[in-house]
Structure 1
Amino acid sequence: MPTLTKGRWKNKQKVLVFTSRGITYKGRHLVNDLRNLMPHTKTDVKMDRKSDLLMVNEICEIKSCNKCIFLVGKKKRDVYMWISNVPHGPSALFHVEYLNMMEELKFTGNCLKASRPILSFDSKFDDSPHMKLLKELFIQVFGTPNFHPKSQPFVDHVFTFSLMDGKIWFRNYQIVEENGELVEIGPRYTMTLSRILSGSFGGPILYINPDYQSPNLVRHLEKKSSTKYVDNKAAKIDKKMRRSDKTFAADETDQVFDTNLTAE
């Protein structure tokens, strides 16, 4: 744990939170929400997506940060999150879904800015080695370091990490009463683990999620299994079956009051 020595904070733990170019507006708002909730963060300008990921380590070194949350936007619809321990690793890549910001759903909860959070983890994080690694990584990144100069000596909200349906569900709650009553603050989102690397944004692969499917593959499968073409063909056949080919004879009295007939 960090300690205070001669009035100066030693073993500084800072997190760099920034995005790549092409990120969605929800990704930009997520960065702002994380910075408001985590007083030990710094930010930087957007990085070009074509740049090498290893450049993030150099940016963290320039900013004097030893942790990093890097959001990557692809195809103007998908958001990926890198969480890394700089510069030696490990690092994990997640696909972020169901993202709702603090101001989007008008959450009724509220907390003191720069206050310290309680980190709550699902018991399933202790069932496998790779989940234990992610738990420790989340503790070091999302937990406010002790005696941080920008943090407040109050604990009034909880970060919860739950495992369900193969996704990690993030929620932020305000502690309203001493009996443990909670009110959601936001933001809320889910993270689907893609892979874990031994290094920071590189190195050998420690774990690959066998159940992970990229958003492009999911959209391709949905389009392939779509019944739109079959439904259109069935509608044309039904219309053809309801259409009758029988013609009816004309009534002789239809032209009684027709005055446009030419006189003979």
Structure 2
Amino acid sequence: MVMQRVVKPKTQQGRRALELREPKIVENNKKTMVMRGGKTSESINNALKDLYSLKKPEAVMLSKKNDARPFEDETHLEKMSKKLDASLFLYGSHTKKRPNNLVIGRMFNHQVLDMFELGADNYQSLASFANSKTSMGSKPCLIFNGADWDSTAEYQRLKNLFVDFFRGPAIEKIRLMGLEQALTFTLSEGKIYARNYKILLKKSGLRTPRVELEEIGPSFDFVIRRHKLASDHMYKDALKIPRTIKPKKKKNISHDVFGSKLGRVHMQKQDVKKMQIRKMKGLKATREEKKAKLKALKAAGE
């Protein structure tokens, strides 16, 4: 068994840096590291810059080339993840065997959890669309088209990875005017068509505006080349939620399909005959009924 030496920080700045990296009940926003491989094409370089612009400010782009092979050796990615405290990564490369190659993945405890190698075809950059762009840091609306996303475990995990990669910071509420961007992923016949749109809210003559989509780029036609999925045990550990933030279940309270809150009240069994009810004139016996009752009692006594 190899014992790891624990290095204690010598400065206040180093102590604060280690505290920021410690496990938290509510984790920080996920940071993405964008890196180039040893050999890249102009198309891949522009694609990495465009995807980096979509991820800013929660992203860092490495200027130096990284001659790594993620599917053969993961140590370099894990080392850079620990150094930059990044849990998402995007790696671009270009070779004769695998042209215009993008590897997208995520980490758990600075170890590779999932990663997919995608071939990027028919790439169109942000600059090729001459129209206004969305503001930096805007939270996109993610749309997945196609029934095949739930057909296999491979597509389900890739869909989950896209959501994790592009969703942005977790928020509780968002106003209608804050929806500026829509990312669509259409799966058809083994190809994934990724498109980026700007959401335009125009007058409709009603209270709700008319929604129109304007493509602003970048756009890709992805093809899955290779993938590596985490084991069931590791994936289960990554999905664990601390008990302190789990919503406490309230007894005898439920919700119907319409969202209405329903409550159940438990009471002791009551004898309806002994209940004191409010006397009403309409329920009182008339004189004829009282005379008939007395006559019946006298007849029964004789």
Q: Contact 2:68–2:76 (CA<8 Å) still a contact in 1?
A: no
Look up the equivalent residue of 1:120 and give its one-letter code: I
Structure 2 residues without counterparts, runs of 5 or longer: 1-25, 172-176, 202-208, 232-302
Percent identity of equivalent pairs: 23
Q: 1:118 aligns with which of 135, 141, 153?
A: 141
| Larger of the two Rg values belongs to structure | 2
Q: 1:197 aligns with which of 228, 232, 239?
A: 228
**TM-score normalized by the length of structure 2:** 0.57
Check 1:66–1:123 CA distance in 2 against 1; reply closer, same or farther (3 A cut): same
- Secondary structure class of the residue paired with 2:126: coil
**TM-score normalized by the length of structure 1:** 0.64
Look up the equivalent residue of 1:182 and give its one-letter code: L
Deviation, structure 1 residue 155: 2.5
Q: 1:43 aligns with which of 31, 39, 61?
A: 61
Deviation, structure 1 residue 76: 10
Where does residue 217 of structure 2 map in the other structure?
186
Q: 1:142 aligns with which of 145, 166, 174?
A: 166
| Distance across 2 between alignment mates of 1:100 and 1:116 | 22
Q: Contact 2:78–2:112 (CA<8 Å) still a contact in 1?
A: no
| Distance across 2 between alignment mates of 1:19 and 1:76 | 17
| Distance across 2 between alignment mates of 1:95 and 1:123 | 20
Higher RCO, Cα 8 Å, sep 6+: 1
Deviation, structure 1 residue 29: 1.0
Where does residue 75 of structure 2 map in the other structure?
54
Q: 1:74 aligns with which of 92, 95, 110?
A: 95
Look up the equivalent residue of 2:155 and give its one-letter code: M
Which runs of structure 2 are paired with 1:1-264 in the superposition (5 Å)? 10-39=27-56, 40-44=58-62, 45-49=64-68, 52-75=73-96, 78-86=99-107, 87-104=111-128, 106-124=129-147, 125-146=149-170, 154-177=178-201, 178-199=209-230
Q: How many residues align?
A: 187
- Secondary structure class of the residue paired with 1:74: coil
Look up the equivalent residue of 1:46 and give its one-letter code: K
Check 1:76–1:197 CA distance in 2 against 1; reply closer, same or farther (3 A cut): closer
Look up the equivalent residue of 2:125 and give its one-letter code: M
- Secondary structure class of the residue paired with 1:134: helix
Q: Contact 1:81–1:94 (CA<8 Å) still a contact in 2?
A: yes
Deviations 1:49-85 (A, max 9, x none): 5794431121121111011111121139811111111
| Distance across 2 between alignment mates of 1:88 and 1:111 | 31
| Distance across 2 between alignment mates of 1:109 and 1:163 | 27
Q: Contact 1:66–1:85 (CA<8 Å) still a contact in 2?
A: yes
Look up the equivalent residue of 2:60 and give its one-letter code: K
Structure 1 residues without counterparts, runs of 5 or longer: 1-8, 148-152, 201-264
Q: Contact 1:109–1:184 (CA<8 Å) still a contact in 2?
A: no
Deviation, structure 1 residue 109: 4.7
Of 51-60 and 153-162, deviating more is: 51-60
| Distance across 1 between alignment mates of 2:229 and 2:150 | 20
Deviations 1:78-99 (A, max 9, x none): 1111111112411111111111
| Distance across 2 between alignment mates of 1:138 and 1:109 | 25
